[in-house]
Amino acid sequence: MKTSTYKFLIICFLVSGFNTAFAEFKLPAIFGDNMILQRGMKVPVYGWGEVGEQVQVDFMGKSYKTTTGADGKWLVKLGSYKAGGPYTMNVKSKSTSLTYTNILIGDVWVASGQSNMEFGIQTEKHAADAISKATDGLIHFFYVPSRLSLQPMADINPQPAESPNGKWVVCSPALLANPRYAWHGFSAVGYYFAQQIRQSAGVPVGMIGTYIGGTPAQAWISAEGLQESPPFTKYVDARQKLVDNFEADKATYPQRQTLYRDSLTIWNTEVGNAYAEVIKQWNVDVTQAKAAGQPLPARPKPSRPAPISPPNPIGNNFTPADCFNGMIAPIFGYGIKGAIWYQGESNGDNLADAVDYKNVFSRMINDWRKKWGQGDFPFLYMQLPNFRQAAVTPSENNWPWVREAQEKTLSLAKTGMPVVIDAGEPLNIHPTNKLVPANRLVLVARHNVYGEKVVASGPIYKSMKVDGNKIIISFNEINKGLVAAGLVSDDVINTDSQDLKGFGIAGADHKFVWAKATIQGNKVVITADGVTNPEAVRYNWADNPPGNLYNKDGLPARPFRTDNWPALVVSNK
């Protein structure tokens, strides 16, 4: 979704190359001043050194010793601690002594995914107020700089001393407003999540941000995870092709880049500069047509296409395992409470990938848990919001199948999913209001992870009953009751004079038509003219559906279908 991120990744790759062995005594960058260590677990501390080197870690009045193995790696596990701090840690070898200060014990969460997780606090809807009030020094951040790799990286790229990236930093207005910090600041969803967990759990919170816009789930799975049975053959083969051709492609890449830049200069002189002016006028014409309610003019095309940048030898944002290798491998093993995830848009680009997301996404979660070595840590993720033009039919497009895949992934232990089907923007894949998604994510965390008695879900489909020309739907999680409503802003809903929308009904022909739906007690009754023998109901089954069923606690109903009909036969066209 962002070309600037990919250009940056190309530069990082050319400078850093693949992973290398460590001979010097060191710890990975995830350890440092201001770090937050996970409470309630035997805290792992690890690094590299010479083979057979003696290592000692001093923390909270105790010493922990080990010896570097034949692979140059070492690991100690400290005690299990309650929340608190600040503390100091000393790590020693025969030649090196490292001291880390301002260490807190609390809860550490990993925030990951694509651009809606990456979306920085500086451009979020509530940025001015949120940044000015970001004074809680018990929230610390670690942003993993964007990096792709064909092989797992042991550590992140070294960052300039003055950069806030790639190191633990303390929350402050100045930090979150820093234009050099991440992409427009730390993840807005990640910040709001940390802020509210700090308040509800009452412990220090560390957020590790590792995300890249425009990435599919398969880019965040390790090569071993992709190969597990049943293997994701197309992803394994795509990655292996890059690996096999890497050295040859790397050797010719600078020459191909030079040729591309020269061709682009010529194209801009002969075509591009004039075309840019045409596009400016087209944008004006579009704005005027929208204001006048007239048909929009077609986008002009250049007289000849622009030259295409040569593919990078390492791949791109869609390359299987590249994001895992560059941005998860350098931090897995660090003690964490859990992960929050906002992704799925890129896997919804076509129907086949959308349907297969249920397999890919669950594989990714299992892969992370296996690699991290902490068992089934909590994994909470956002269901896709509404997006694109308003639905024309009750069952259309790809994103409903991604949402269903996300729902099916709840079968994995210790997962949770807030619904934000009402919190998107029709023409903006990056909704600027990230407070609503974060609020609902926090409710799921408080309920599922921290055991609080809070309502964390809207109505969830339970069962259906056919009664003549009607289908009666029953729900779980109705709590205070069902209501037709609409999101006003920041989780405030309007229940005034709302007709229930978003329901479709179909008979044996599998063709869904808009239905009349009414709330009767704790059930919804659905009918439609012309459908005398209904067989199935779908609710909010479109990219941007109109559904407005909530519980009275203010949370929207989860999209659902009562049928199990194949995805390829649902089109009404």
Is the full-model pTM beyond 0.95?
no
Q: Determine the pLDDT at residue 496.
A: 85
- pLDDT winner (highest mean) among 2-11, 14-23, 106-115: 106-115
Q: Determine the pLDDT at residue 362.
A: 98
Q: Determine the pLDDT at residue 498.
A: 85
Q: Taking residues 477-485, report their average pLDDT.
A: 96
Q: What are the DSSP calls for 388-417, one per residue?
A: SSPPSSSB-SSHHHHHHHHHHGGGSTTEE-
Cβ partners under 8 Å of residue 56, min gap 6: 63, 64, 65, 91, 92, 93
pLDDT at residue 16 greater than cutoff 90? no
Q: Taking residues 350-363, report their average pLDDT.
A: 96
Helix, strand, coil % over all residues of the chain, rounded to 5: 30, 25, 45
Q: Which residue has the higher pLDDT, 345 or 296?
A: 345
Which range, of 369-373, 393-397, 480-484, 490-494, averages the lowest pLDDT?
490-494
Q: Which tens digits make up the pLDDT trace of 517-540?
A: 999 999 999 999 999 999 999 999
Domain spans, the chain: 3-21+105-231+320-449, 233-314, 460-569
What is the overall mean pLDDT for the chain?
A: 94
Q: Which tens digits make up the pLDDT trace of 270-292?
A: 999 999 999 999 999 999 998 89
Provide the pLDDT confidence category of residue 20 given band limits of 50, 70 and 90.
very low
Q: Determine the pLDDT at residue 568.
A: 65
Q: Determine the pLDDT at residue 62.
A: 98
Q: Determine the pLDDT at residue 22.
A: 56
Q: Determine the pLDDT at residue 563.
A: 97
Secondary structure tally for the chain: helices H, strands E? 12, 25
Q: Determine the pLDDT at residue 502.
A: 98
Counting Cα atoms < 13 Å in the Cβ hemisphere of 139 gives 22
Hey, what CATH topology would domain 3-21+105-231+320-449 get?
A: Rossmann fold (3.40.50)
Q: Which tens digits make up the pLDDT trace of 120-135?
A: 999 999 999 999 999 9
Residue showing tokens 């040569």: 310
- The conformation of residue 120, written as its DSSP 8-state character, comes to B
Task: Tell me what percent of the residues of the chain surpass a pLDDT of 90.
Answer: 91
Provide the pLDDT confidence category of residue 293 given band limits of 50, 70 and 90.
confident
Residue showing tokens 């390829």: 568
Cα-Cα-Cα-Cα dihedral sign, residues 69, 73, 74, 75: negative
Q: Which tens digits make up the pLDDT trace of 199-251?
A: 999 999 999 999 999 999 999 999 999 999 999 999 999 999 999 999 999 99
